[in-house]
Structure 1
Amino acid sequence: MTIGVLLVREEVLPLMHDGVASRLAPLLSKIMLGEEWDGGTASDLPIQVRAWDGSVIGPPGAPAFVIRHRRALRRLLWKPGEMGLVRAYVAGELDIEGDVFAALDAVQRVMRSGDEQIRLSSDDKREIVRTAVMLGAVGPEPKPPPEEFPPGRRGDRSSGPLTESAAFFARMLGPEMAHSGGLWDEAIDLDDAQRTALESVTERLSLFQGARVLDLNAGWGALACHLAARHGCRVVALTRTPEQAAYIKDRAAGLGDRVQVLGWDLDEAGRGPYDAIVGLTEIEPLDRDAARLYELLAPGGRLVLQQPVRRPGPHRVRRTFTTSYMFPEDGELLPLGELIATLENAGLEVRGVAALREHHARTLRAWAANLERHWAECVELAGIGRARVWLLYLAASALATESGRIGVHEIRAIRRDRDGRAGTTLVEGRSVPGRVAP
């Protein structure tokens, strides 16, 4: 999920006012795109770029990227492209005024993807330094914002995005704290979409009173408590953080022993068997051992996974906004085909795949709207840096999903019984037409 797309191509940056902005155009075109500035035309620019002295380039009324401090340029000098840009935004040295979605979408349509590292020639570097000196932007590399993970951090569940408080997530996700996507076909709002989605998943799990269910990613307990309270299931809920565990225990206080809360490690799920296993996630990949899932499922047991996926093809692992601020390097997205092959190789039979990309994007937009609606409270709860990280992530992810660069699919699988059958419930009550003799 790359968001190195926040500034415009140099051929569409017209000069509107004298001042710092006019000098920024060639500088930013070099360090962001590695290309030459040729003056551009005013009608093509979809955004404004405003400098700290008030000078502006770009058309009136367009979303504005505001460079509030020279340190933002210094970050871009040291880290041309995505990481320098993100650091400046998270640190508050670069701002976005107006509709964040419109601003990101506008520049994505005129700028390259940002996936490749920008390489500058010696002449480019000399010209950049000369301009930076004139603007007072030369100096040592600024330290990354405190919200950024240390390089190489892997699998540390004690820090990261889920350390925000339950109160923060209640503002962003909504009062039900459902961390997975809703179904929006006939929903009137986010809460309605989430309720529909939970019931839909429950139906596909073919549950019954007293069924034993393993929730691989319980989050804040929306699905686990739904299954226990409305369907009489016995749920083992795996959680990432102690705060999540405490929240779910309090939420399930009136459900007796029908919800058991454990840690994140899959080994804590015991030896099984489980009648159903479910893993819902809309904000990160769910990395679980498929062979272990097969062992935990009872013969005929159902598995439902909802996963974000990337397009197939070569994929270069590198530090990005997502791995540096949201999820560690071991959280890379996989193509859909690889996920299906992994489940099949473990002995599970994939029975269906459904695309949820549009539903996912709309859910991300709803969460971002909640975050902006409760911005002051969220900043107080998590800090301005983390609030900015979340807003940038939700907006960029929604746009990437809407454009098809990221997909979200639900995969339904089953563990066949000893005779190779996938369970009578799949055909129970249905007539199977036979051949009619002539």
Structure 2
Amino acid sequence: MTEVSTILDRFAQRVLGTRLPVGIRSWDGSTAGPEDGPRLVLHDRDALRFVLWRPGDLGLARAWVAGVLSVEGDLYELLGRISSALWEKKEPRSRAQGFHGLLKRLTRPGSAREALGVVALAGTALPPVVPVEEVRRRRGPAHTLRRDRRAISHHYDVGNEFYALVLGPSLVYSCAYWDDKELSSGGTLEQAQEAKLDLVCRKLALHKGQRLLDVGCGWGSLAIHAARHYGVRVVGVTISEEQAASARQRVAAEGLGHLVEIRVQDYREIEDPPFDAISSIGMAEHVGRERYRSYADILYGLLKPGGRLLNHQIARRPLRDEGSYRMNAFIDRYVFPDGELAPVGSTVSALEEAGFEVRDVESLREHYALTLRSWVTNLEEHWDEAVRLTSPGRARVWRLYMAACAVGFESNTMGVNQVLAVRASDTGRSEMPLRRDFLIPGQRRG
């Protein structure tokens, strides 16, 4: 009898047109593919069925989340090899659009035997049961208030204890700001997150008496930092009930209730402008392409003339066909429902079309890769606790998504940028200094 892994190797070469990029060990103990480096482990036939029904990232992700597929060796290296082999091919993505697309390719000379052999290995032709962690079909237009609340709840309302375990004491869910010297001498994630919070405050030129709006305030870390070190009054808004509850507790514990107000509120519902400064850190990815100009218009209207906006946002590389800004299927179904990434140039254009003057753009791509690796380490070191707080499937989702994103930032397929913009006065005054000395650490004005 031919070994399972041998059949899979022949299938990859003949039908998919590529050699296996990583090693494989199947449920019968057979192996195939490169002997060096990481290896995919198929624990039973369901792993194969997931991939047959949805070839590509979603099928592999479903098998991973269901626990019928795992990895031996370096997860980052494995993801990098698979990415290069499957998602950076020049062929159209439409060639891997499910089981029926696979059947259409059976007419290729010499491919029928290998393809049918794999189908036979999978057993029943019925699709496997999709893991419960996956978002089911969504109805109606994206990015309405109601649908956005559901999407945010799926990702953020999974337990504050779980987030504290992954993110660490800082409870900051965006990339940290690392320093080469501190990194080489053992600098911590918490130090790098403190540096990022302070960088945001310096770019906004915060000082005592000002009023700051923090859009997508998370667990309140930036609001607390700005109030404690710069003396500003902060309104933090989030549409996650669990985040807001935790943020309020943290604000009270710091004795900053007189300076910080945390609201469960969408940015589209704010009715008490103007603000001296606005921070939007890791929130704009949820806005959506069709509503981004409206997002920029709303923030512009909430600012005083001379006020500054700091927009911190993940970006993707420009595509020849700009028709889709959606994240890949795994991220959309399991991590950030309805999330959309735009190139940084599109973000800058939308802000300026709304009336902002963009004054500074800083790429933090490498910083996010380092941050994600730190989060993965936190999760792996506390794996049993993470599973107890959520579920085995949810913990696997997080490990895969964070590791995959780290590879994306390292390989320059994803980026993250801080865009500093100002609402100039009617006479054109920006209230910006002539030089960028305000970015030098230690220039606190509170």
2:35 is the alignment partner of 1:51: no
Q: Which residue of 2 aligns with 1:223?
A: 222
Contact 1:132 1:138 in 2 (8 A): no
Q: Distance in 2 between matches of 1:77 and 1:108?
A: 18
Shift, 1:112, TM fit: 4.5
Shift, 1:98, TM fit: 2.1
Q: Distance in 1 between matches of 2:270 and 2:54?
A: 43
Q: Which residue of 2 aligns with 1:165?
A: 159
Q: Distance in 2 between matches of 1:247 and 1:429?
A: 35
Q: Distance in 1 between matches of 2:83 and 2:436?
A: 50
Q: Distance in 1 between matches of 2:198 and 2:74?
A: 34
Kindly provide the CA deviation profile for residues 334-392 of structure 1, in whole angstroms up to 9, marking residues without a partner as x.
11111111111111111111111111111111111111111111111111111111111
**Counterpart residue type for residue 179 of structure 1:** Y
- SS of aligned partner of 1:102: helix
Q: Distance in 2 between matches of 1:19 and 1:28?
A: 15
What does 1:306-345 align with in structure 2 at a 5 Å threshold? Answer: 306-313=312-319, 314-317=321-324, 320-329=329-338, 331-345=339-353
Shift, 1:75, TM fit: 1.7
**2:173 pairs with one of 161, 179, 190:** 179
Contact 1:46 1:62 in 2 (8 A): no
**2:129 pairs with one of 129, 132, 143:** 143
Q: Distance in 1 between matches of 2:396 and 2:43?
A: 15
Q: Distance in 1 between matches of 2:114 and 2:323?
A: 28
Q: TM-score scaled by structure 1?
A: 0.85
- SS of aligned partner of 2:312: strand
- SS of aligned partner of 1:300: strand
Q: Distance in 1 between matches of 2:436 and 2:416?
A: 30
Kindly provide the CA deviation profile for residues 117-142 of structure 1, in whole angstroms up to 9, marking residues without a partner as x.
22442436854663145425233112
Contact 2:281 2:313 in 1 (8 A): yes
Q: Which residue of 2 aligns with 1:200?
A: 199
Structure 2 stretches lacking a partner, 5+ long: 439-446
Q: Distance in 1 between matches of 2:35 and 2:436?
A: 64
**2:45 pairs with one of 54, 70, 75:** 70
Residue 173 and residue 423 in structure 1: after superposition, are their counterparts in 2 closer, same or farther (change >3 A)?
same
Choose 59-68 or 227-236, whichever is displaced more: 59-68
RMSD: 2.6
Choose 343-352 or 50-59, whichever is displaced more: 50-59
Residue 36 and residue 423 in structure 1: after superposition, are their counterparts in 2 closer, same or farther (change >3 A)?
closer
Q: Distance in 1 between matches of 2:283 and 2:251?
A: 23
Residue 286 and residue 170 in structure 1: after superposition, are their counterparts in 2 closer, same or farther (change >3 A)?
farther
Instruction: Using the aligned pairs only, state the percent identity.
Output: 40
Contact 1:239 1:263 in 2 (8 A): yes
Residue 151 and residue 127 in structure 1: after superposition, are their counterparts in 2 closer, same or farther (change >3 A)?
farther
Q: Distance in 2 between matches of 1:226 and 1:90?
A: 36
- SS of aligned partner of 2:417: strand
Q: Distance in 1 between matches of 2:74 and 2:242?
A: 33
- SS of aligned partner of 2:149: coil
Shift, 1:199, TM fit: 1.0
Contact 1:179 1:282 in 2 (8 A): no
Contact 2:157 2:241 in 1 (8 A): no
Kindly provide the CA deviation profile for residues 87-115 of structure 1, in whole angstroms up to 9, marking residues without a partner as x.
11111111112221121123334445277
2:397 is the alignment partner of 1:396: no
**Counterpart residue type for residue 49 of structure 1:** I
Shift, 1:169, TM fit: 0.7
- SS of aligned partner of 2:93: coil
Q: Which residue of 2 aligns with 1:152?
A: 138
Q: Which residue of 1 aligns with 2:11?
A: 27
Q: Distance in 2 between matches of 1:360 and 1:401?
A: 7
**1:292 pairs with one of 265, 286, 298:** 298
Residue 244 and residue 232 in structure 1: after superposition, are their counterparts in 2 closer, same or farther (change >3 A)?
same
- SS of aligned partner of 2:16: coil
Shift, 1:286, TM fit: 5.3
Contact 1:73 1:137 in 2 (8 A): no
Residue 112 and residue 269 in structure 1: after superposition, are their counterparts in 2 closer, same or farther (change >3 A)?
closer
- SS of aligned partner of 2:318: coil
Q: Distance in 1 between matches of 2:229 and 2:374?
A: 26
Contact 1:67 1:94 in 2 (8 A): yes
**Counterpart residue type for residue 221 of structure 2:** A
Structure 1 stretches lacking a partner, 5+ long: 1-16, 431-438
Choose 244-253 or 114-123, whichever is displaced more: 114-123
